[in-house]
């Protein structure tokens, strides 16, 4: 199949491109920059441009069968700084993309929303897809709004959207250009022998998923023709202090940890209920945290 990966030069997108190539697809990447940690791949058709450039986006969509849409220029911590700009960069381009897709008769689009940002502080654990949506950052509000436009286009034009809500992915190549991901950040700090800053008391619980697992699940769901919203995590929670202990063991470094007040845009505890995805793709064996962290550490020390 001819597949367009928008944001394919980022952390998650680069792993998706790797798997799609292994599976034998023809890959075009639309991104506003090249990969930070690798040279361009010889068998990928790169279109380096900005999503706000509609003619370039139109060109990139020609002869495509499936779109994976991962580009996002903000993360929860940066999105509240300039909300109008966040809307211009992450909401309006989605509508332009949807309009172009419909014009070209393209119906299959896989969108990366966010499990951590759309639900807000959860009222249940684990959180299933029917949990109320109470985002606490502009980033989360835009993810929810984009999701709703995908559903609207499904209703009006017969779009077949697959909306993914990943939990906390980690792994090699994280930290593309705006830092997101505590495991990669702490491993970098361990490498530089710098102190770690923990927002809160370190008892916050998150659902960490190794990026290759996230991509395998994404691929299986997209090829199974799944439509609608799906949580993607490992379905288990780990405390931040446990992550720090693991990092100390794996790196052999005793870490200095500074605990400061928690941040207002960060959800304290969340574990995703992934049974909806598992029902479609069947049982999946997740990479254990010590192995995923070790792989990320090895990569950090190679680059
Ligand atoms: N990494 C996480 O912790 C996480 C968690 C949940 C959801 N997500 C979502 O998954 C998706 C991918 O995340 P990631 O961590 O790989 O992000 P990333 O920042 O590493 O990659 C995003 C890519 O999109 C590109 N991009 C951004 N704005 C663009 C624009 N206007 N035009 C063209 N290209 C543009 C960037 O250059 C980058 O290569 C994002 O939508 C993100 O919100 C990420």
Ligand 1 centroid – CA 253 distance (Å): 31
Is 296 touching ligand 1 by the criterion CB < 6 Å? Answer: no
Residue pair 76/137 in contact by the 8 Å Cβ criterion: yes
Query: Which atom of ligand 1 has the smallest separation from the CA of 168?
Result: 3
Q: Is residue 221 part of a domain?
A: yes
Question: Smallest Cα–Cα separation from 214: which of 231, 232, 227?
Answer: 232
Strands (E), 132-234: 160-166, 168-170, 196-199, 205-206, 208-210, 228-232
Q: For residue 11, how far is its CA from the centre of ligand 1 (angstroms)?
A: 7
Residue nearest to atom 18 of ligand 1 (CA): 10
Gap from CA of 136 to ligand 1 centroid (Å):
19
Sign (positive or negative) of CA dihedral 227, 231, 177, 188 = negative
Q: Is residue 302 part of a domain?
A: no
Q: Is the pTM of this model over 0.85?
A: yes
- What lies within 8 Å, CB to CB, of 217 at 6+ separation is 232, 277, 281, 284
Question: What pLDDT, on a 0 to 100 scale, did the predictor assign at position 179?
Answer: 58
The closest-lying atom of ligand 1 relative to the alpha carbon of residue 71 is 24
In 3D, which of 123, 129, 127, 136 has the Cα closest to residue 164? 129
Q: Is the CB of 169 under 6 A from ligand 1?
A: yes
Which ligand 1 atom is at minimum distance from the Cα of 116? 6
Residue 214 and residue 81: Cα distance in Å, rounded? 29
- Give the model confidence (pLDDT) of 286-295 as tens digits: 999 999 999 9
Full domain range(s) for residue 32: 2-170+209-233
Question: Is residue 175 assigned to a domain?
Answer: no
- Cβ–ligand 1 distance for 33 under 6 Å, the answer yes
Residue nearest to atom 39 of ligand 1 (CA): 10
Centroid of ligand 1 to alpha carbon of 74 (angstroms): 8
Ligand 1 geometric centre to CA of 75 (Å): 8
pLDDT in tens, 105-128: 999 999 999 999 999 989 888 999
Q: How far apart are the C-alpha atoms of 244 and 52, rounded to whole Å? A: 40
In a domain, 71, yes or no: yes
Measured CA to CA, the distance from residue 152 to residue 269 in angstroms comes to 31
Which of 4, 11, 18, 119 most suits a substitution to test ligand 1, by most atoms within 8 Å of the C-beta? 11
Ligand 1 touching residue 233 (CB < 6 A): no
Please give the pLDDT value at position 76: 86
- Identify whether 91 is part of a domain: yes
Mutating to test ligand 1, I would choose from 70, 206, 233 the residue with most ligand atoms within 8 A of its C-beta, which is 70
Confirm or reject: Cβ of 126 under 6 Å from ligand 1.
no
231 lines ligand 1 (CB under 6 A): no
What is the H or E stretch that residue 287 is in? Answer: none
Per-residue confidence (pLDDT) for residue 236, from 0 to 100: 96
**What is the total count of domains within the chain?**
1
Closest atom of ligand 1 to 50 CA is 32
User: Closest Cα to residue 68, out of 128, 133, 18?
Assistant: 18
pLDDT the model gives residue 121 = 87
Q: Residue 196: which residues within 8 A CB-CB, separation 6 or more?
A: 186, 189, 244, 255, 256, 257, 258
Q: In this predicted structure, what is the pLDDT of residue 77? A: 82
- Residue 14's nearest CA partner among 208, 222, 211, 257 is 211
Q: Which atom of ligand 1 is nearest to the CA of 166?
A: 6
Profile the chain (303 residues) by mean pLDDT over runs of 10 residues: 98 98 98 96 98 98 98 89 95 98 98 95 93 95 98 98 97 74 92 92 95 98 96 97 97 94 82 98 97 97 83
Alpha carbon distance 171, 300 (integer Å): 10
Cα-to-centroid distance, 252 and ligand 1 (Å): 31
For position 66, which CATH number holds?
3.40.50.720
Write down the pLDDT at residue 124.
86
| Residue 149 located in a structural domain | yes
């Amino acid at each position: 199949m001819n597949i367009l990966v928008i944001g394919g030069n980022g952390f998650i997108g680069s792993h998706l491109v790797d798997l799609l190539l292994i599976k034998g697809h023809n890959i075009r990447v639309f991104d506003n920059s090249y990969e930070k940690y690798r040279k361009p791949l010889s068998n990928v058709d790169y279109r380096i441009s900005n999503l706000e450039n509609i003619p370039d986006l139109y060109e990139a969509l020609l002869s495509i069968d499936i779109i994976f849409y991962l580009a996002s220029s903000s993360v929860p911590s940066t999105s509240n700084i300039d909300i109008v700009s966040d809307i211009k960069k992450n909401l309006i381009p989605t509508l332009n993309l949807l309009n172009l897709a419909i014009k070209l008769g393209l119906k299959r689009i896989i969108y990366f929303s966010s499990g951590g940002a759309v639900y807000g502080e959860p009222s249940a654990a684990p959180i299933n897809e029917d949990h109320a949506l109470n985002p606490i950052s502009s980033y989360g509000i835009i993810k929810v709004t984009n999701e709703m436009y995908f559903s609207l286009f499904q209703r009006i034009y017969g779009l077949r959207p697959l909306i993914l809500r990943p939990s906390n992915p980690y792994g090699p190549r994280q930290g593309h250009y705006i830092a997101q991901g505590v495991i990669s950040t702490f491993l970098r700090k361990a490498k530089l022998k710098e102190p770690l800053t923990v927002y809160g008391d370190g008892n916050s619980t998150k659902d960490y998923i190794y990026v290759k697992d996230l991509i395998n699940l994404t691929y299986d769901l997209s090829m199974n023709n799944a439509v609608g919203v799906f949580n993607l995590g490992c379905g288990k929670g780990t405390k931040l202090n446990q992550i720090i202990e693991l990092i100390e063991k794996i790196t052999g470094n005793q870490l200095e940890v500074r605990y400061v007040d928690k941040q207002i845009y960060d959800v304290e505890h969340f574990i995703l209920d992934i049974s909806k995805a598992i029902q479609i793709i069947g049982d999946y064996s997740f990479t254990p945290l010590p192995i995923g962290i070790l792989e990320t550490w090895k990569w950090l020390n190679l680059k």
